[in-house]
Amino acid sequence: MIEDNKLADIQVAEDESSKLPFIEAREKKIDYSETPDLGDAWFQKAKRATHLPEKKQVSLRIDEDILEFFKQQGSRYQTKMHAVLRAYVDGNKSIGSK
């Protein structure tokens, strides 16, 4: 008897799912009219992922307060630490080439 009730519930749920708005949204065409046109200059500046430097895994000792600071910035704190190091390196490339 319980199994019959479960089957009835499943059938009702399937009937109701045909009325869901996200199903109707899939049937509509996507409007790209407000999407900005990317010009040649944008594509010249763009970098493909294959051109990015390969990353190496390292073990690094960092002062506890520095680590806590980055962790408090939210998720992906290691990516943020990498961005700070990248900015430092990029800002000092002319110094290192002398």
Taking phi first (over 0 means left), then psi (-120 to 50 degrees means alpha), and beta for anything else, what does residue 56 get?
A: beta
Handedness of CA 18, 20, 22, 24 (dihedral sign): positive
Q: Is residue 68 part of a domain?
A: yes
Q: Is residue 36 part of a domain?
A: no
Q: Which pLDDT band holds residue 87 (cuts at 50, 70, 90)?
A: very high
- Per-residue model confidence as pLDDT tens digits over 43-83: 888 877 776 788 899 999 999 999 999 999 989 999 999 99
Domain extent, residue 69, equals 2-30+57-96
Number of domains in the chain: 1
Q: Is residue 6 part of a domain?
A: yes
- At residue 44, the pLDDT reads 84
- Per-residue model confidence as pLDDT tens digits over 25-45: 666 777 888 888 888 888 888
Which residue matches tokens 């506890």? 64
Q: Is residue 38 part of a domain?
A: no
Q: Is residue 35 part of a domain?
A: no
Q: Is residue 18 part of a domain?
A: yes
Whether this model's pTM surpasses 0.95: no
Structure tokens at 92: 């000092």
- Gap between the terminal Cα atoms of the chain: 84
CA–CA separation, 28 vs 83, rounded Å? Answer: 40
CA angle (20, 22, 27) in 5-degree steps? 110
